[in-house]
Amino acid sequence: MKTIKKVSITIILFLSLCLSIFSVTADPTIEIETNPANPERLSTFTVIATITGENIISVTVTISECTKKPPAQCFVAHSNIPMTLDDNGKYEAEVTLTGTQDSIDHVQYLFVINDNGTEYQVGDLKTDLKIDDTNNNGGDNGTPGFELIILLSAVFISLLILKRKR
């Protein structure tokens, strides 16, 4: 009976020692927000990142301006922007969009987090841009256009043809 107690105590001590030595650390996770929530093209906005990690040394972000319309493309606008830690424990960086393409409709982020000497890359995060469609060249803006001229011409020609046949 005493040997069973000794063996079980030894196993429990060994397991607790292993757990204390090899502590399990998870990859950092990140949640982002922007101020304003949906920035416009060519505007300046602030990227705010809430990062969970134990000993974060530094955070940088790479900003890409992207299109969803085929062919979907991304253009790196800013590379490796250092983020600063604010009083609330959030990391911030101010970014001005370059607007290299007119079809840009969202922004993608790639964060590089240095957590106690280990670098983690977190990507696939995006923010949709506020798109102003006031100058949409050919869209329906509520006024009659070329279609009305064609319709009136077709009615007039139809009336002429019908009168000649009578």
Domain 26-131, CATH number (from 3.40.190.10, 3.20.20.150, 2.60.40.1930, 3.40.50.1370)? 2.60.40.1930
pTM for the complete prediction? 0.63
Distance CA 62, CA 113 (A): 12
Lookup: tokens for 153:
């011409």
Q: In what order do the strands lie in the sheet with 29-35?
A: 29-35, 44-52, 91-96, 84-85
Q: What is the per-residue pLDDT across 55-89, written as a single tens digit (0 to 9) for each?
A: 888 999 999 999 888 888 888 888 999 999 988 88
Q: Which of 4-8, 92-96, 121-125 has the least mean pLDDT?
A: 4-8
